[in-house]
Structure 1
Amino acid sequence: MESIEDVQYVVVHGYRRAFRIAGSGPALLMLHGLACDSSTWVDVMPRLAEHYTVIAPDLLGHGESDKPDADYSLGGYANGMRDLLTVLGIDKVTVVGHSFGGGVAMQFAYQFPDRTERVVLVSTGGLGKEVTPLIRFLTVPGSGLAIAAATLRPWRPLVSGALTSMSKLPISATRDLGEVARIYEALADPAQRTAVQRVTSHVLNWRGQYVTMTDRSYLARLMPVLVIWGRDDMVIPASHADSAPTQVSDVHVLEDSGHFPHRDHPEEFARIVVEFVESNPPATYHRGRWRALLRRGDQYQLESVDPAAAVPVAAAEPAIS
């Protein structure tokens, strides 16, 4: 088995993509959050790799992947993940997404339901407007210059060290500051800072998140979905779990946990994911069922579908290929 610490590389569309891979068996695609990288999963990857093939990429513009002047939209990221999996010879996955990566996971499942077996959303974006002012600040004109000044070398170690030290205090409000320190260090790289700002411009503005998947949440009736959140999340409120897809398989709000529940409680997180995968058979994509659900929208009841015919029992409309 590959070491969790080993980062591998593959070139897709001319850009280097970094990723970690370990284990064997059914595939889990693990997508990190904004300004983070695949190392956010290192505490849970060994446990998950005992059961699955775990692929944790650095999203384009993050970590050790290239940071080009390119498409940083949700759809672009979903396409990139499809192409990475294709290059790696992996057909179908359970996609796991944290924070912004949760938005990418939902977009991947929406664009490629034939390649998605299950969805796991971890403190995910895309389920509500509220988000920390620190992220909204990235969309304000001039924020790039302000961050560049705030991450200059003379005081960068002092700020990073102070954030890390504060994260060790027994206070829920400072719990995630160790991860914030890592993000602060990452934003010192001008290329990553530009990429992160490009990402934020696609999904939110200074008022909050404006891109949502809640209007399409009824599609989750065709796919098992798990939601995991930290009770003390100061980045995206745990109350957004209430807006999770209506047919969600399970919701876990972990106590004594912030925006990174997989870092706060890696053993419990891995256990929840394994139990979810083992107890929920993979979704099987059928174009007729997908079409029927799209036609009726969120008022459509799955019970009205005849699985043999894969169209509504009472439908009089002709099938559309």
Structure 2
Amino acid sequence: MAGLFDDEYVQYAARQLLKGHEVNLSAKRLSELKGLLTDNHFTLSKGQRFWLNPQGKEYIRRQLAQAKPICAPDPELDIQQLNIHLPAQVNQHVLQALLKKDAKKPLDEADRQRLVEADISVTKDETLRLRSAHGFSLYLQQGSLLDLSGVFALSNECILPERLLSTVTKLLPGEVSFTHVITVENLGAFIEIELKPQCLFIYAPGNNTRLAELLVGMLPANISWVHFGDLDQAGIDIGLRMAANLARPYKPLLPRNLHDIAARYGRPVESNQPALEKSKRGKVPWQIAKLNPELAARLAPLIEQNLWLEQEVIVMCL
């Protein structure tokens, strides 16, 4: 069967199986491999997902040892032969498809170093959502000024593409200067939070805070940064990580009547239970050691009762 295992596609699937991964063998190019393994009882399966039993692993090892080695691909040669010209910025998945022949396979450090040497930057092409009660302008690297006042006058919200944001060097206030920038973790809270004068609100979804940090990092230190997230340990951890990345003090947005909100809407931390019902949405237990004494004292209505709060509740009580 060495001929079958000379195929690059089959070799890749076989190596994934050998690593203990479940593999979908429904592809036409893997039908012969699937038949071989199942007919000889070398696999276990669940639906279209297969993995090897010990006998199957031993068989695959022998076949791969006898198979013709696949020549290491040269993606740079492929790109040259196809006359592909890469611009200064390229989408991450496009680069992965070209360099790894798989849009979902991440670039390694060697790939990234070659791209740096070629002056090619990788972009995820995400967007950044902003809300403000008044307009401002963005100063771009080319020396031009992008006035967003008209956009905010229409909707109080603006969406910036990542590639544009990467050219921004400074935020210039309009008629009203900002005193606070507030990053908001969840979309519902970001949309519903009441706009305040002199405040810029930035959507920073979950752990994907990269673009929000990029914009906050452009702001002068006299603009105070506040983070608004779920009041649980995971939400606090996100804020602490952002604070470390920004080299700014961590200031969570907390309601004045936290005690009353906790009494009505606080949800128990369930993560100590061995098995959770999906509806209970277990949370990471509070970790007092991560909190400074002032923050721990302010969160006492939750910590002392082992409760947590969703920010979607808090946003209507600020």
Q: TM-score, normalised by structure 2?
A: 0.32
Query: Which structure carries more relative contact order (alpha carbon 8 Å, separation 6+)?
Result: 1
